[in-house]
């Protein structure tokens, strides 16, 4: 039997908000969990405000309720070690423990495709969350999306202002199949009623083809009717910054956090958000599933019109 009543964690996040909308539109009885003080923007959904997602508080959310499914879109907003472990690993463990006790049948986790090649603190925390879902005894679905549109939109404004598009190396070091918030939300919610999406890890991208940072820049210039202009940043500059911040990080927590941000930046500058073929040790665009209809071109066009 497909889920009717769903509790959603991380409902105030970028993808969480779209998932909340999709659940309500699809007729699910939807409960959105948000932090105390967070904005209530979920027409048609019930809202639970939480000060903390410790195990007791989370258990309390399920008491006397009959949720069929839980969806977790929570994620550390910083990605640094302590916060990532608390939010991605521990909070998700608390959610699963409460769901088990309450007899919830299906648990869906929004993860990330980058965990297939873990090098960062938050990726280790996400893998711990994935293990909790897989070993929960509930029906589980783990969704590993490629890059979101928002992650590829940071330079739209500077390009519109006439500045060059910044590229690491030659701008062809990585590729991804970007997916819109709406398409990803539709994919996540479809897992509730589609047995083919049960008990599996699902990498997912938007409509292809895979696109490099250079091609993203060219797209922005084309939409603005300008000649493409690029500034190239050597990856080794990031390596030097990371080494310096790691040294300072031995003395200061602030510098240690900056070193982790720089490592995160370097990871995305050098690793593709596509399925990793372990045997051949290459990213495989063809093996990266596609879903949805929203294109990065249309998103950029809308963004440039609005700015």
Ligand X SMILES: NC(=O)c1ccc[n+]([C@@H]2O[C@H](COP(=O)([O-])OP(=O)(O)OC[C@H]3O[C@@H](n4cnc5c(N)ncnc54)[C@H](OP(=O)(O)O)[C@@H]3O)[C@@H](O)[C@H]2O)c1
Binding site residues, ligand X, CB under 6 A? 10, 12-16, 35, 38, 53, 73-77, 87, 110, 112, 145, 147-148, 151
CB of 154 to ligand X, least distance (A): 11
CB of 264 to ligand X, least distance (A): 10
β strands within 39-100, DSSP E: 46-50, 69-72
Cβ atoms < 10 Å from Cβ of 156: 21
Cβ atoms < 10 Å from Cβ of 281: 7
Among all residues, whose Cβ is closest to ligand X? 13
| C-beta of 105 vs 134, nearer to ligand X | 134
CB of 218 to ligand X, least distance (A): 20
Cα-flanking dihedrals φ and ψ of residue 7, to 5°?
-110, 130
Cβ atoms < 10 Å from Cβ of 263: 20
Name the nearest CA neighbour of 205 among 284, 109, 298.
284
CB of 98 to ligand X, least distance (A): 15
| C-beta of 2 vs 151, nearer to ligand X | 151
| C-beta of 75 vs 210, nearer to ligand X | 75
Q: What is the dihedral of CA 40, 125, 180, 194, to 10 degrees?
A: -90
CB of 243 to ligand X, least distance (A): 25
CB of 92 to ligand X, least distance (A): 10
CB of 73 to ligand X, least distance (A): 5
What is d(CA 217, CA 227) in angstroms, rounded to the nearest whole number? 11
> Which class for 137: exposed (0-12), middle (13-18), buried (19 or more C-beta within 10 A)?
exposed
| C-beta of 203 vs 217, nearer to ligand X | 203
The tokens for 223 are 């939409």
Cα-flanking dihedrals φ and ψ of residue 223, to 5°?
-65, -30
| C-beta of 77 vs 198, nearer to ligand X | 77
CB of 250 to ligand X, least distance (A): 27
**Burial code of 83-121, b = ≥16 C-beta within 10 A, e = fewer?**
bbbebbbbbbbbbbbbbeebebebbbbbbbbbbbeeebb
| C-beta of 106 vs 144, nearer to ligand X | 144
CB of 21 to ligand X, least distance (A): 13
Q: Specify the 3-state DSSP secondary structure of 202.
A: strand
| C-beta of 2 vs 157, nearer to ligand X | 157
| C-beta of 122 vs 165, nearer to ligand X | 122
What is d(CA 132, CA 112) in angstroms, rounded to the nearest whole number? 15
| C-beta of 87 vs 192, nearer to ligand X | 87
The full DSSP string for 11-34 is TTSHHHHHHHHHHHHTT-EEEEEE
């Amino acid at each position: 039997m497909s889920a009717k009543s769903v509790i959603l964690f991380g409902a105030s996040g970028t993808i969480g908000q779209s998932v909340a909308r999709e659940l309500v539109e699809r007729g699910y009885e939807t409960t959105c969990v948000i932090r105390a003080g967070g904005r209530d923007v979920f027409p048609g959904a019930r809202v639970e405000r939480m000060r903390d997602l410790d195990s007791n508080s989370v258990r309390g959310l399920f008491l006397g309720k009959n949720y069929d499914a839980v969806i977790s879109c929570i994620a550390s907003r910083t990605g640094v070690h302590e916060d990532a472990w608390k939010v991605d690993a521990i909070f998700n463990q608390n959610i699963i423990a409460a769901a088990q006790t309450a007899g919830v049948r299906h648990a869906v986790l929004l993860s990330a495709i980058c965990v297939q090649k873990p090098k960062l603190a938050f990726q280790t925390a996400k893998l711990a969350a994935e293990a909790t879902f897989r070993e929960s005894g509930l029906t589980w679905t783990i969704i590993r999306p490629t890059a979101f549109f928002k992650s590829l939109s940071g330079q739209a404004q500077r390009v519109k202002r006439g500045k060059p598009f910044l590229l690491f190396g030659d701008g062809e070091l990585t590729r991804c199949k970007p997916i819109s918030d709406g398409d990803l939300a539709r994919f996540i919610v479809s897992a509730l009623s589609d047995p083919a999406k049960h008990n599996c890890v699902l990498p997912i991208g938007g409509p292809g083809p895979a696109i490099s940072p250079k091609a993203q820049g060219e797209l922005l210039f084309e939409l603005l009717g300008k000649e493409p202009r690029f500034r190239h940043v050597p990856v080794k500059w990031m390596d030097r910054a990371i080494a310096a911040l790691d040294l300072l990080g031995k003395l200061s927590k602030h510098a240690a956090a900056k070193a982790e941000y720089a490592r995160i930046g370097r990871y995305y500058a050098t690793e593709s958000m596509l399925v990793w073929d372990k045997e051949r040790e290459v990213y495989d665009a063809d093996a990266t599933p596609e879903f949805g209809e929203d294109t990065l071109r249309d998103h950029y066009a809308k963004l440039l019109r609005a700015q």
